[in-house]
């Protein structure tokens, strides 16, 4: 019996494994969206820092921290990776504020 789960051929041969393949696909797509949001938020902060826009960098930083922490709390990225990203962004924004 040959079943496809949305564009790729599942290697699963029994009912529970087919369901697991479907669930994995949905979760993978959802996680990709969250990771993209994190990347875009980080990019917005770094762009503002590069252009010496202190106030804009601070606003983007606050939004980025929220997105990063939400992503970490859902387990999409590791909590220590989230802390590392926030720390590095904070260091850049604070350096800009001092200059």
Contact assessment for residue 61 and residue 93, using Cβ atoms and an 8 Å cutoff: yes
What topology does CATH give the domain 15-98?
Methane Monooxygenase Hydroxylase; Chain G, domain 1 (1.20.58)
The domain limits of the chain are: 15-98
**CA-based end-to-end distance of the chain:** 67
pLDDT in tens, 83-96: 999 999 999 999 99
- Residues of the chain short of pLDDT 70, as ranges, are 1-10
What confidence score (pLDDT) does residue 6 get?
A: 55
pLDDT in tens, 53-63: 999 999 999 99
Burial of 61 (0-12, 13-18, 19+ CB in 10 A): buried
What confidence score (pLDDT) does residue 1 get?
A: 43
What confidence score (pLDDT) does residue 9 get?
A: 66
DSSP letters of 8-28? SB----SHHHHHHHHHHHHHH
């Amino acid at each position: 019996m040959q079943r496809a789960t949305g564009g790729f051929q599942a290697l699963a041969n029994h009912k529970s494994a087919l369901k697991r393949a479907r669930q994995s696909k949905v979760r993978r797509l959802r996680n990709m969206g969250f990771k993209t949001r994190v990347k875009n938020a980080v990019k917005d902060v770094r762009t503002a820092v590069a252009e010496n826009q202190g106030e804009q960098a601070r606003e983007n930083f606050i939004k980025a921290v929220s997105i990063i922490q939400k992503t970490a709390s859902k387990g999409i990225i590791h909590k220590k990776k989230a802390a590392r990203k926030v720390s590095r962004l904070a260091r850049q924004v604070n350096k800009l504020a001092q200059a």
